[in-house]
A and B are shown apart, each in its own frame.
Chain A
Amino acid sequence: SQQGEEDPQALSIQEGENATMNCSYKTSINNLQWYRQNSGRGLVHLILIRSNEREKHSGRLRVTLDTSKKSSSLLITASRAADTASYFCATDADDYKLSFGAGTTVTVRA
């Protein structure tokens, strides 16, 4: 079973626009991580936010975490064609195994 659930399942935006996707989870966590996957290959780690953090930035990425609502969001600003990929949230309940959601597929149109 999967802990996290991403919303929406798919997203199509114009280059230059912002993309926002959400993740909800069920149990207490130590941290939440976001990953990107291109064309069914390996996952690339984007950002890790700890349970005592509320917001984190990395380049064009902004992640928020609301532990009271058990939810997180990933914002990609000024999207580019290279941002076309699947994005996954993964929760770590302090047992060092990651529980992934089913992912959000993002398509950036030129």
Chain B
Amino acid sequence: DAGVTQSPTHLIKTRGQQVTLRCSPKSGHDTVSWYQQALGQGPQFIFQYYEEEERQRGNFPDRFSGHQFPNYSSELNVNALLLGDSALYLCASSLDLSHEQYFGPGTRLTVT
């Protein structure tokens, strides 16, 4: 049974560019959440998708957007990248109404 997978593992982008990160949830899970973890900090909630709709959103600008597909996989898009967007981006999946989230290995984004 595959756990949560994310791609790519590492990514280097230039300021002003756009990036798309991908996540496949654990088998049987229908809810995907995205978190940003800056170096030395705890993860910060970005948003959550359920039934292809954004259900919850944290305190992140509109440059951060996402999508969930019918197979429950998800994408995180960040436009107009800033140096401060450099972080580990974590995807977590869960079964709706379950409070336990399973995290993927993350995508390390470096913005230069």
Residues of A within 8 A of B (CB): 1-2, 4, 30-31, 33, 35, 40-45, 48, 88, 90, 92, 95-103
- Identify B105's interface contact among A33, A41, A99, CB under 8 A: A41
Query: How many Å from the CB of B100 to the closest CB on chain A?
Result: 6
Residues of B within 8 A of A44 (CB): 103
Q: In the bound complex, do residue A41 and residue B42 qualify as a contact, i.e. CB atoms below 8 Å apart?
A: no
Residues of A within 8 A of B90 (CB): 42-43
Query: How many Å from the CB of A86 to the closest CB on chain B?
Result: 9
Q: Report 16 cross-chain contacts, Cβ distance below 8 Å, ordered by A residue.
A: A33-B100, A40-B39, A42-B90, A42-B105, A43-B43, A43-B92, A44-B103, A45-B103, A88-B42, A96-B31, A96-B55, A97-B33, A98-B33, A98-B92, A98-B101, A103-B41
Report Cα–Cα, A74/B56, bound state, in Å. Answer: 29
Q: In the bound complex, do residue A100 and residue B43 qualify as a contact, i.e. CB atoms below 8 Å apart?
A: yes
Residues of A within 8 A of B106 (CB): 40-42
Q: How many A-B residue pairs have CB under 8 A?
A: 68
Size category, B interface? 20 to 34
Residues of B within 8 A of A4 (CB): 42
Residues of B within 8 A of A100 (CB): 35, 42-44
Q: In the bound complex, do residue A96 and residue B43 qualify as a contact, i.e. CB atoms below 8 Å apart?
A: no
Given the interface pairs A97-B56, A97-B58, the reply to whether A43 lies near B44 with Cβ below 8 Å is no
Given the interface pairs A41-B106, A97-B56, the reply to whether A102 lies near B100 with Cβ below 8 Å is no
Residues of B within 8 A of A (CB): 4, 31, 33, 35, 37, 39-45, 48, 55-56, 58-59, 88, 90, 92, 94, 99-106, 108
Query: How many Å from the CB of B70 to the closest CB on chain A?
Result: 21
Residues of B within 8 A of A35 (CB): 103
Query: How many Å from the CB of B75 to the closest CB on chain A?
Result: 18
Residue of B nearest to A92 (CB): B99
Given the interface pairs A96-B94, A97-B56, the reply to whether A45 lies near B102 with Cβ below 8 Å is yes
Q: In the bound complex, do residue A102 and residue B104 qualify as a contact, i.e. CB atoms below 8 Å apart?
A: no
Query: How many Å from the CB of B103 to the closest CB on chain A?
Result: 4
